[in-house]
Amino acid sequence: MTAQLGVAAAFELSWEDLEDCPEAQKLGCRLSLFAQAPFDWFLVESCVIETEDEEEWEEEQEELEELRDSFLVNRNLLQLTEQKTYRLHPLIREFFQTKLAQLPEADSYKQSFCQTMVAVAQLIPQTPTQEIIAAVTPAIPHLAQAATFLTDWLTDEDLIRPFAGLGRFYEGQGTYDQAESWYERCLEISRNRLGDEHPDVATSLNNLALLYNSMGRYDQAEPLLQQALEMRKQLLGHDHPDVATSLNNLGSLYQSMGRYDQAEPLLQQALEMRKQLLGHHHPDVATSLNNLGLLYSSMGRYDQAEPLLQQALELYKQRLGHHHPDVATSLNNLANLYSSMGRYDEAEPLFQQALEMRKQLLGQDHPDVATSLNNLANLYSSMGRYDEAEPLFQQALEMRKQLLGHHNPHLASTLNNLAGLYYSMKRYNEAEPLYKQALKLLREHLGHHHPHLASTLNNLANLYHSMKRYNEAEPLFQQALEMTKQLLGENHRDVANSLKDLANLYKSMGRYHQAEPLFQQALEMTKQLLGQDHPDVATSLNNLANLYHSMKRYNEAEPLLQQALEMIKQRLGHDHPDVATSLNNLAGLYNLMGRYHQAEPLFQQALEIR
């Protein structure tokens, strides 16, 4: 107690020493508003200097520096750090705070501090780059100080801005738990201060919902987005940019949930509104084009998806420059479309470009980097470049576990993809537990009726088929086929894949008459949906030919196998594993037909590739 009194007395003496310069006393008091952390001096200047005249600003800046150095630093009341920032000792800060409370200007000082922190918050975009994060990180403790202790001095207009800025800062780095805390506090304080029906409450609901969407917590996101949409319509009218944003966000959520029929009209409406309200060249129009393109891609409507994704990419480049996180996302989305369409040579450079841009802009340990690694690995897996795919999948999986936790639905896609790679490499015992983990995650987060769940059930069934566990495979194939038809309609690429896979199972089980119509249906559907030259058409031709082979209908099998072989060579190159499989199939047919001179060179070619 005696020691504390002695310290207090010493501070009081220091304070009295400053009586000749009340401006230095006031400066000390203002510095106590900063958090117990180093601060950059320009933030102090922003709080204190009010003039907008350049010459006056420079004069006041010099006067402020003189006060700082002569009266505070030289008397050891303020410390200059090695990083050229400043900080107050905790006890000195506490002392200055008690003096601040006695000043008649205290409220105006707190308001100025809050305005400065609001300006910092507004510098933080939705997807902050490494450069922006590095620039604002020193100010984050002080922004948190304003949001935690000084909300009474934030204007109604500025109330949510510090919270939203902190939320974006953490969400943009994948630190979702911290982002959630700030967004929740934002919603609570905006409701308490502004009431339940206010545009900023709608914005707070929207921000929290978008975070939940990123975290895969779709059931929590949906009611918040619906609430925000209704509130914005009532408060702002039906033709307002914020209403378009809400429509877009709700549509994107429904796409993530596999509810495509609900997503499409919302995304179309958002796109039209944004064009009318903001003009055709606004970045928000690019976002709407991108989201609608992604939806069409998910629905297998590739011809509609491609021009939208291309337009979005060009618009982002024009408005945001060629080196921006949204450009990287757009490149990634277009590459995913090309990969789905079997246009692998077009997809690869786009995936690589997106990955490098994300690493440079967002840092090596960012959720978007994990997404890019996963997608590039998926492409390599489709191209038969398994040795390149595996380390990328493993890297993406570990990153997602660290960044998103072990129970995030985004983890399921990487588990599913890595399992698919092991399946292709015939490492079945490694694939099975990964598929089961993916299924568990999908059921927990997306329910029992979702396209991703159907796809993963189908993949596990294929694995059981390859392991000759036919009785386990059949009900999974049937379940996946029915779910896919219900969710995506009868005429979808995933339906064609399910038909083909079930047919393959029936062929293996010797149930040829059940297999044939399914193979034929899958082939016709694949041609219609993907075009005559897609690798999946070659696969379907191979499958039907192999069935005819098994049924000893050799003359019907031969032209199908020849056609499939030529297509695969053209699309995937002469050294792809699928070329070896096709050569082997055709050679096996010639062998059975007694055309040994034709069979032998094909067998040799297949062996050389493998």
Q: Write the pLDDT tens digit of every residue in 378-425.
A: 999 999 899 999 999 999 999 999 988 888 878 999 999 999 999 999
Would 253 be classed as within a structural domain? no
Closest residue by Cα to residue 34 from 140, 105, 124, 163:
140
Sign of the C-alpha dihedral, residues 317, 322, 326, 327? positive
What is the rounded CA–CA span in Å between residue 441 and residue 404?
13
Q: What is the pLDDT of residues 62-117, one digit of tens each?
A: 999 999 999 999 988 999 999 999 999 999 999 999 999 999 999 999 999 999 99
| pLDDT at residue 8, as a whole number | 61
Q: Is 275 helix (H, G, I), strand (E, B) or coil?
A: helix
Structural domains in the chain (count): 1
In terms of residue numbers, what domain contains 20? 1-45+52-103
Would 74 be classed as within a structural domain? yes
**Site of tokens 């003096």:** 99
Extract the residue ranges of the chain whose pLDDT is less than 70: 1-11, 13, 610
| pLDDT at residue 2, as a whole number | 46
| pLDDT at residue 3, as a whole number | 45
Would 88 be classed as within a structural domain? yes
Can you say how many angstroms the Cα of residue 56 is from the centroid of all Cα atoms in its chain?
46
Would 21 be classed as within a structural domain? yes
**Site of tokens 């895969």:** 216
| pLDDT at residue 7, as a whole number | 56
Residues whose CB is less than 8 angstroms from the CB of residue 553 and which lie 6 or more positions away in sequence, other chains included: none
What is the rounded CA–CA span in Å between residue 296 and residue 268?
11
**Helix orientation angle between 493-508 and 451-466, rounded to the nearest 10 degrees:** 20
Mean pLDDT for all residues in the chain: 93
| pLDDT at residue 463, as a whole number | 97
Would 299 be classed as within a structural domain? no
Would 10 be classed as within a structural domain? yes
| pLDDT at residue 1, as a whole number | 44
Would 465 be classed as within a structural domain? no
Residue 291 near residue 326, CB atoms below 8 Å: no
Would 479 be classed as within a structural domain? no
